[in-house]
Amino acid sequence: MVVKVGSSILTGGGTSIVAENLSRIVGHIARLVKDKHDIILVTSGAIASGLSVLGFKKRPTQLSELQAAAAVGQNILMQAYNAELEKFGLKGAQILLTREDFSERQRYLNARNTINTLLEHNIIPIINENDAISVEEIKFGDNDTLSARVAAAVEADGLVLLTDIDGLYKDFDSKTRTGILLSAIEEITPEIEKLACGTDAASCVGGMSTKIEAIKIAKEMGIPSICANGTSISLHINFDPASAHDGTLFAAKKSIGSKKHWIAFEAKTNGKIIVDDGAKKALVQHSRSLLSPGIVGVEGNFKAGDVVEIVDSAGTVFAKGKVNFSSHELSQIKGKKAKDEAVHRDNLVVL
């Protein structure tokens, strides 16, 4: 399973790692390993670890300062994790990732293979975003989403999002941190999304809203998720809805498969194919391949094998797919009677 740890747990909402909190997290991980689970740890905390070293009392706003804090703090964070893991006879290995590692197919497969090889050798992969160089991730990214992407890449059996509250609440009061804890959620409806909220903690970016987005990604891969309190002295993780568990359990749905997940969520898109209403109906309702007669327009510059967006007449992106022709070739055959297969249904995902 993939376990994600947020900065709010590690720092207690401050600007430096609290040793007791990190020790408790590693204790949870050690118990899961003892129960025969292969654990992949996705952890925040690099920037928070570096803030005090650089003399910051609160999270800076300048990008260069954030990058500097990440560069200093990542080493501190890894040393702290490995020192605690060693107490249980465990070892960790650092993996730093960026979005590009997921958007390019070969790098995506390489990252997955590295993680699986570490697990085969009983090493816990400790994953973080490469904040020291990843501009977009520092400004907009979060490790909740990264953990879901990692879980999808390795086709994990479960995703555990650890935070500093017990799970998703109804009628949550941020001042008293109380409400009605939801034990299990089958579907993520608009009403469920409205229950999620952000955070203003000094050392972290994500909030419950980013966890909901991450859980959506996991659901598409058939991966159940649990959002639970990592500060608890004991932590009971169980993905069986009929059994007792801590936190809020989010049920999975039927998996779309690893390749289609990559097309839908990870791959860069290099253009658009505009289709008519008949083609849209064939793709959405009948799971057909996209044929050239249904194409009314082509945008962008792409080659055969690239991933493109598929757009209806109103301009709405409703699917993505790996195209069999270049943009130039499609422009020549679009709308013609010859039924050339532009995108095979096995390489197409309806969003």
Q: Is 335 left (phi over 0), alpha (psi -120 to 50) or beta?
A: left
The pLDDT assigned to 186 comes to: 92
In the predicted structure, residue 273 carries a pLDDT above the cut 50: yes
Strand partners, 94: 126
In terms of pLDDT, which residue wins out, 11 or 119?
119
pTM: 0.84
State how far the Cα of 10 lies from the Cα of 22, in Å rounded to an integer. Answer: 6
Residue 203 pLDDT: 44
212 contacts: CB under 8 Å, gap ≥ 6: 168, 188, 192, 193, 196
- DSSP per-residue letters across 284-318: HHH-PPEEGGGEEEEEE---TT-EEEEE-TTS-EE
**pLDDT at 233 > cutoff 70:** yes
Which CATH architecture fits 2-259? 3-Layer(aba) Sandwich (3.40)
Q: Do strands 248-250 and 169-173 pair parallel, antiparallel, or not at all (unpaired)?
A: unpaired
Query: Could you tell me which residue, 171 or 301, shows the higher pLDDT?
Result: 301
Provide mean pLDDT across the span 30-43: 96
Name the band, by pLDDT with cuts 50, 70 and 90, for residue 138.
very low
What is the per-residue pLDDT for 135?
Answer: 63
Distance, CA of 303 to CA of 290 (rounded, Å): 16
In this structure, whether the domain defined by 268-350 belongs to CATH 2.30.130.10 is answered with yes
Neighbours of 117 (CB within 10 A): 12
Per-residue pLDDT, 164: 85
Q: What is the pLDDT of residue 171?
A: 79
Confidence of residue 326 (pLDDT cuts 50, 70, 90): very high
- Give domain limits for the chain: 2-259, 268-350
pLDDT tens digits for range 237-247? 999 877 888 99
Q: Which of 44-58, 180-194, 304-318 has the highest mean pLDDT?
A: 304-318
A 10 A CB-CB count for 296 gives: 16
User: Is the per-residue pLDDT at 175 higher than 90?
Assistant: no
Mean pLDDT lowest among 64-68, 81-85, 116-120, 139-143: 139-143
Range with the poorest average pLDDT among 101-110, 141-150, 163-172, 336-345: 163-172
Residue 169 is classified by DSSP as E
Average pLDDT of the residues in 249-255: 92
Query: CA of 202: how far to CAs of 14, 115, 236, 260, 288, in Å?
Result: 6, 31, 29, 37, 49
Token pair for 38 = 């292969």
Element (DSSP H or E) covering residue 40: strand 40-43
Q: What is the mean pLDDT of the chain?
A: 90
Which pLDDT band, with edges at 50, 70 and 90, does 170 fall under? confident
Question: What is the token pair recorded at 140?
Answer: 């907009």
Q: Is 273 exposed, middle or buried (0-12, 13-18, 19+ CB in 10 A)?
A: buried
- The widest CA-to-CA distance across the chain, in whole angstroms, is 69
